A and B are shown apart, each in its own frame.
Chain A
Amino acid sequence: MIFAERMLKIDRRIIFLVIGLCTLLPLLYPVGLPIKISPEVRGVYDYIESLPEGSVFLLSLDFDPASKPELHPQSISLLRHAFRKNLRVVAMTLWVSGTGMADQVVTQVAREMGKENGKDYVFLGWSPGGTAVIMNMGQDLYGAFPADYNGKPTKGLPVLQGIANLRDVTYAVSLGAGNPGVEAWYVFGKDKYKFELGGGCTGVMAPGLYPLLRSGQINGLIGGLRGAAEYETLIGQKGKAIAGMDAQSATHLAIIVLVILCNLFYFSLRRQSAQ
């Protein structure tokens, strides 16, 4: 009895240590278990795979540095895939603190794939207003973003040729960490302007987006680091997401063991106090 009680009141710093080790050790000594692909992630991948060359792909990186570990790998994989398919990439962000990160990832992947700014892709940057930006882009893209992030006027850019507003976008994917995110892109974007929409999100947001996935309002969902790892597997380019999967497995197992132990101690304590 005393043992169970003592174990239930254990110093939380020991639990911190357990979690720290479960995260650190698999990162230093990876195993590399196979990753099964879920239909949600396949939905986004298959759709991009089916797009003809020159289609307009809008990627909205709606996250800040707090969600970088989950959504940054997703953005890298999506950009690599889009550039590989020679799509016209229009990138932007609705979150002010994510602007620097978004600019960096687009520039980095574009350079890696040999793409030219203004011709193959454009980074529009950030604009305040959240949902107002989406609606304004739906009405007139050049009104919402008169210039790209580097100050070049958007009217006349080869990559935006023939695009007046969101109705001319073939596929849009929003990588959202909260509001504004995937839901805002649907309610204020796809609902009226009828482009195809896919979503990527953090693990916290993912369960809440399943109704939209089931009703076909979004055609795919890349959820959290696991979703990013699945996408990396699909495009055949390993990145930080796959590298983090072993640590993810270890920490989940640790939490499950902790929860089971806590319940075992709790029930033994209850049984003994009933006696």
Chain B
Amino acid sequence: MPIETIIGAWVATGLTLFIFSFLYKDNPLFKLAENLYVGVSVGYTIVKTYDTVIVHLIWTPIVKNGEWALLIPVSIGMLMLTRYVPKAAWLSRYAFAFIVGVGSGLAIPRVISSYILKQIEDTVRPLLVMVPGEGLSFTWNLLNPASSLNTIIILIGVSSVLFYFFFSVEHTGLGKVVARTGILFLMIAFGAAFGYTVMARMSLLIGRLTDLIEFTDLSYGRPSLWLLGLTILTLVVMSRRASHKPEEE
């Protein structure tokens, strides 16, 4: 095992345990790891942005390939940075106007096509299916999401939820029944979302613990076990010192 991997294993395990120490109590170890995290992430982003944007997207095409037209987006980008110069900050409006204008213009037809038209198209599918040789038939299979029964349920779900969010009309009488159906569908969907969120968060924890278990191996020098002991010791010492201080005061 190369020495940098062993050192890396110890550093990674230590930082992981420092962050886990937050579960016991907010403490300096956690704050150290937290600030380290922000610093390293931002540093990484800056390096990657510099390497990709300045070197590969601007310098090489303009200087080596002579694509002088790229000076236009560079100047727009520079205009954007004038936001930090109070006297010239109004210049940045041109840059933002361009970006927002282009972004909105590009998004409108694509969003309409993908999220509105296509989604409505799939909701209003035919309820009766034409089976060759048998004529029209209505399929009842609940387990097949494309069956006729499920198509009706989806139609009811989509319309009642859309109606529930339509607050310009008062939800009374028939409207109340539709709105309540909408709420029922919404609650089931939120329950499913909660179930999946739990699954996702647990998966993240499983991933970290898998790595920690991997680092209990002798080839790394068992950093997980040693550093766990060290972290617990540090937390105990810190909480002892904290409980002694108010006694003195």
With contacts A13-B24, A192-B110 taken as known, whether A240 is within 8 angstroms of B198 at the C-beta atoms is: no
Whole-angstrom distance between the Cβ of B172 and the nearest chain A Cβ: 30
Asked whether, in the complex, the Cβ of B192 is within 8 Å of the Cβ of A244, the reply is no
- In chain A, positions 99-150 with a C-beta closer than 8 Å to chain B are 99, 125-128, 131, 135, 146-147
Report the Cα distance A191→B117, complex, angstroms: 12
Residues of A within 8 A of B23 (CB): 13, 16
A274 at the interface (CB under 8 A from B): no
Asked whether, in the complex, the Cβ of B110 is within 8 Å of the Cβ of A215, the reply is no
Asked whether, in the complex, the Cβ of B203 is within 8 Å of the Cβ of A69, the reply is yes
Residues of A within 8 A of B110 (CB): 187-188, 191-192
Contact with B along A168-205 (1 / 0, CB 8 A): 00000000000000000011100110000000001110
- Choose among B113, B199, B205 the residue that contacts A226 (Cβ–Cβ < 8 A): B199
- Choose among A19, A68, A187, A202 the residue that contacts B114 (Cβ–Cβ < 8 A): A187
Residues of A within 8 A of B192 (CB): 207
B206 at the interface (CB under 8 A from A): yes
6 more contacts with CB within 8 A, not counting A69-B207, A128-B49, A224-B196, are: A16-B23, A187-B110, A188-B110, A208-B193, A215-B119, A255-B202
Residues of B within 8 A of A226 (CB): 199
A34 at the interface (CB under 8 A from B): no
A23 at the interface (CB under 8 A from B): yes
Report the Cα distance A146→B200, complex, angstroms: 36
Residues of B within 8 A of A224 (CB): 196, 199-200, 203
Residues of A within 8 A of B53 (CB): 128
Residues of A within 8 A of B119 (CB): 211, 215
Whole-angstrom distance between the Cβ of A97 and the nearest chain B Cβ: 6
Report the Cα distance A28→B209, complex, angstroms: 10
Whole-angstrom distance between the Cβ of A205 and the nearest chain B Cβ: 8
Residues of B within 8 A of A68 (CB): 207
Report the Cα distance A19→B201, complex, angstroms: 11
- Choose among B196, B208, B210 the residue that contacts A206 (Cβ–Cβ < 8 A): B196
Q: How large is the interface on B (under 10, 10 to 19, 20 to 34, 35 or more residues)?
A: 35 or more
Residues of A within 8 A of B213 (CB): 24, 27-28
Residues of B with Cβ closer than 8 Å to A? Answer: 23-24, 41, 44-45, 48-49, 52-53, 56-57, 60-61, 106-107, 110-111, 113-115, 118-119, 121-122, 145, 154, 189, 192-193, 196-210, 213
- In chain A, positions 196-250 with a C-beta closer than 8 Å to chain B are 202-204, 206-208, 211, 214-217, 223-226, 240, 243-244, 247-248
Nearest chain B residue, comparing its CB with the CB of A73: B207
A251 at the interface (CB under 8 A from B): yes
A35 at the interface (CB under 8 A from B): no
Residue from B45, B106, B203, B207 having most chain A Cβ neighbours under 10 A? B203
Report the Cα distance A66→B203, complex, angstroms: 11
Whole-angstrom distance between the Cβ of B113 and the nearest chain A Cβ: 6
